[in-house]
Structure 1
Amino acid sequence: MSAWPTRLVFALFGLVLAAPLAVVAGVSVNEKKSLTFPPEGFSLGWFGQIFTDGEWFHALLASLGVAALSSILAVLIALPIAWFLWRWHAPFARIVQVLGLAPFILPPVITALGFLAFWSELGLYGQPWTVVVSHGIFFVTLPLVTLTLGFDAIDPTLVEAATTMGADDRAVLRTIVFPLIRPYIVSGLAFAFVLSLNEYIVAYMVVGFTLETLPIKIFNALRYGYTPTMAAVTVLFVAVAALVFGLIARFGDLPRLLGAWSHRDE
């Protein structure tokens, strides 16, 4: 296939993906309180309402708090698993990796129902911290993948040289391993943070309406009608995701973090 048909296909594909976002962005600046497109007038007041309206602002803080804590928890779970897979190349070690991937492989509804049954059995349903634990387990796959790539990218000769010079395992981890995998840790945090920020099903099943994150707040608001604030929140989500992934692409090797192999890996 020549160059221009390929570019045309990708351009059409990009337009199809961008069209819903363009509509939502247009609705978010609608001057009137209605979900109409093209927008009738122009106003950024709906974005301001996210920060000035108490209910929307508390939902925003709840989403940011849950996303931050759950992404840290996901990395704390994934880091020893990835290290174990790198340190021990025994066949049984892959069982650990499968267990780490399992929550994300299952359909979200099935995983959410599992969390619901688990927390209800313990009598902890509705506790705000349970959604942090649930999201941390649910999104552990993302930092696990990035950290596994990071450990695989470590040159074994560096570790061998450090060991030959008398460095113990703790010194090797501190001086060689952690500096090399630090970008992968940050990327795992970023991926888990963005997805946790947008996740609805697990949060709803675990805490119901006792803790309103932004996705749950949008669902609750739909019962009373449609407002452009919902579209403004959606645009805000997309902007945060674009910012996070843009920073990763700027300061890290995004293709490598997404699983692409460099020439030196061949």
Structure 2
Amino acid sequence: MTFLRRIYLALFAVYLLGPIFVIAAVSFNAKKFLAFPPRGFSFRWYVEIFAAEEWLTSLTASLTIALSSATLSVVIALPIAYVVWSRNLRYAKALLSLGIAPFILPPVIMALAFLLMFSSIGMYGWAINVVIAHAVFLLALPLVTISLGLESVDKELVEASRTMGATGWTVFKTVIFPIAAPFAFAGFAFCFVISLNEYIIALMTVGFTVETLPIKIFNALRYGYSPVIASIAVMFLVINVIVFSLIAKFSNLPRILGAQE
């Protein structure tokens, strides 16, 4: 049974890692077409991401939108989660549920809703649309992570701080926020990664007026298959690995994943 288990795990690993290995190999192809095994070895397609203006513009747009939407999502989630935790008000719990609801719906439904909303108020095609849409759609992630962080705060410690004369802001700044901050960072990181890779909502809220990298890749595929697309896929993979490594290092990853302390 041990031997069969090892065979199964090996096949499962190949199944998971095989496509990544193929894409990584293709990204170093020296020829100007997708081919596996690669024909020659070259870094030219990684260089082109930053050397070609159209790819660099899309990369800059994607990073700007991902950072902005992740920041906005955390800024919205933090006070909601804090009010729910500290005061346990009914309307705050309803607002928390409302914030989680968009993430439950299929992205195409949310994309259609944002398309209708922005079109009706004359904002269709604006870059800010993607930031707002991603922040709302991904709001559930920082809401959940920050709520988990706040649940880790010992309320007796908070009461002791207030008994000693600390103001509400001082307690939040010196006791609550340092504990919740790693969880807020985790929510920010999750939002950043998903926003960076998201395609449907971005396309339907701005069309082709703002080309994020996923939209740019889709447009490029209509004219051929270039190894630069594989290079971008590898670059995204590296970014994701770095982000999740930072989450594991600076946040309580087992707690975020549901482990009981």
Q: Give the TM interval when normalised to the shorter protein.
A: over 0.9
Q: Within 1, Cα distance between the matches of 2:88 and 2:231?
A: 48
Give the gaps of 5 or more residues in structure 1. none
Letter in 2 for 1:201: I
Contact 2:83 2:89 in 1 (8 A): no
CA contact (8 A) 2:183 2:252 kept: no
In 1, Cα distance between the equivalents of 2:2 and 2:154?
38
Matches of 1:7 and 1:30, distance apart in 2: 33
Q: 1:219 deviation in Å?
A: 0.6
Q: 1:153, CA displacement in angstroms? A: 0.7
Match of 1:174 in 2: 173
- Structure 1 position 140 matched with structure 2 position 177: no
Structure 2 alignment gaps of length 5 or more: none
The match for 1:247 is 246
Aligned: 1:256 with 2:251 = no
In structure 1, how many angstroms separate the alpha carbons of the residues matched to 2:98 and 2:182? 24
> Cα 1:12–1:153, aligned 2, differ >3 Å: closer, same or farther?
farther
Given that residues 73 and 136 in structure 2 are in contact (C-alpha distance below 8 angstroms), is that contact kept between their aligned partners in structure 1?
yes
Deviations 1:94-137 (A, max 9, x none): 32221111111000000000000000010100011111111111
2:35 corresponds in structure 1 to 36
Deviates more, 1:28-37 or 1:9-18: 9-18
Question: How far has the Cα of 1:182 moved from its partner?
Answer: 1.1
The answer for the alignment partner of 1:151 in structure 2 is 150
TM-score by length of 2: 0.95
1:69 and 1:137 mapped to 2: Cα distance?
A: 12
User: Under a length normalisation based on structure 1, what TM-score does the superposition of the two structures give?
Assistant: 0.93
CA distance in 2, matches of 1:251, 1:6: 34
In 1, Cα distance between equivalents of 2:63 and 2:3: 43
Q: Per-residue CA shift, 1:140-193, capped at 9, x if unaligned?
A: 111111101100111111111112212232221111111111111111111111
Structure 1 residue 128 and structure 2 residue 127: aligned? yes
Q: Call closer, same or farther: CA 1:8–1:170 in 2, change over 3 Å.
A: farther
Size of the aligned set, in residue pairs, is 261
**Distance in structure 1 (CA, Å) of the matches to 2:55 and 2:64:** 14
Greater alpha carbon shift after TM alignment, 224-233 vs 248-257: 248-257
Q: Which residue of 1 aligns with 2:235?
A: 236
Question: Structure 2 matches for 1:203-222, cutoff 5 A?
Answer: 203-222=202-221
Q: Which amino acid aligns with 1:23?
A: V
C-alpha RMSD of the superposition = 1.6
The secondary structure found in structure 1 opposite 2:32 is: coil
CA contact (8 A) 1:30 1:41 kept: yes
Deviation at 1:42, TM superposition (A): 1.1
With over 3 angstroms needed to count, the CA separation of the structure-2 counterparts of 1:87 and 1:4, relative to structure 1, is farther
Contact 1:59–1:213 under 8 Å retained in 2: yes
Residue aligning to 2:61 = 62
Given that 1:147 and 1:184 are in contact with CA atoms closer than 8 Å, whether structure 2 keeps it comes out as yes
Counterpart of 2:176, as a letter, is: V
Amino acid at match of 1:25: A
Amino acid paired to 2:238: A
Q: Percent identity?
A: 51
Cα separation, 1, equivalents of 2:123 and 2:62: 20
Find the counterpart in structure 2 of residue 53 from structure 1: 52
Aligned to 1:14: 13
Does the aligned pair in 2 maintain the 1:28–1:229 contact within 8 Å?
yes
CA–CA distance in 2 between the matches of 1:172 and 1:228?
Answer: 53
